[in-house]
A = this chain, B = another copy of it.
Amino acid sequence: MRGFIIGRWQPFHLGHLRVIEDIIKSKEVDELVIGIGSAQKSHTLSDPFTAGERIMMIIKSLKEYSDLTYYVIPIKDIDFNALWVSYVETLTPPFNIVYSGNPLVRELFTEKNYKVVKPKLYNRAEYSGTEIRKRMLNDEEWEHLVPEEVVEVIKEIDGINRLKRLNMKDY
């Protein structure tokens, strides 16, 4: 059995990691396709990181999870909801279960007769991309909310300064 999970992962955080750990423990699937949603987006306050950077975050964070065979696939927005599931299918190995709490993703896969499962979330107040990006901008603690490997990637690409510069006023 193969599963599919998609997110924007801006950035990949410990809440995301917990969801993936739960999928591994559940033994529902032995392979997992991880979609990088909105792959074309980067360099904005809500989507600061490129697809390539997000792939690095995920693959480095999952290095020790050797039980899991996973595929990380960038998937750009096509702005054509009725076509989106088929678009995903052409870019990925076939899968049977979809993990998502997003109503649109759930609806689109449900209409195509996929089994859709809502993963349990942990500590939603802090394990949240929005919260983490806000802390990055305000020089608050954020490093404990993401895997160590993500801290390293963001340092390597000077991600905090990118975010701060993007937040400057137009003049």
Stretch at the interface among A131-139, A142-150, A160-168: A160-168
Q: In the complex, which residues of chain B have a beta carbon less than 8 angstroms from the beta carbon of A87?
A: 83, 86
Q: Which of A114-171 contact B (CB under 8 A)?
A: 118, 121, 124, 162, 165-171
Give which listed residue, B42, B103, B110, B169, contacts A82 with CB less than 8 A. B42
Tally of contact residues, A, Cβ under 8 A: 53
Decide yes or no: A90 and B165 within 8 Å by CB, A50-B82, A74-B73 being known contacts: no
In the bound complex, CA of A44 to CA of B105 (Å): 11
**Mask of A78-98 contacts with B, CB within 8 angstroms, 1/0:** 011111011101111110000
Decide yes or no: A167 and B55 within 8 Å by CB, A50-B82, A74-B91, A83-B90 being known contacts: no
- Sample of 10 A–B contacts (CB below 8 Å): A40-B80, A41-B80, A43-B108, A51-B91, A55-B73, A73-B73, A83-B83, A83-B86, A103-B167, A104-B166
In the bound complex, CA of A44 to CA of B129 (Å): 23
Query: Closest residue to A59 on the B side, CB-wise?
Result: B71
Give which listed residue, B52, B89, B111, contacts A92 with CB less than 8 A. B52
In the bound complex, CA of A90 to CA of B74 (Å): 10
A165 close to B107 (CB less than 8 A): yes
Q: Is A39 an interface residue (CB 8 A)?
A: yes
**From residue A27, how far is it (CB to closest CB) to chain B in Å?**
19
Which 4 residue pairs of A and B lie closest in terms of their CB atoms, listed nearest first? A86-B86, A43-B81, A82-B90, A101-B171
Q: In the complex, which residues of chain B have a beta carbon less than 8 angstroms from the beta carbon of A53?
A: 93
A40 close to B79 (CB less than 8 A): yes
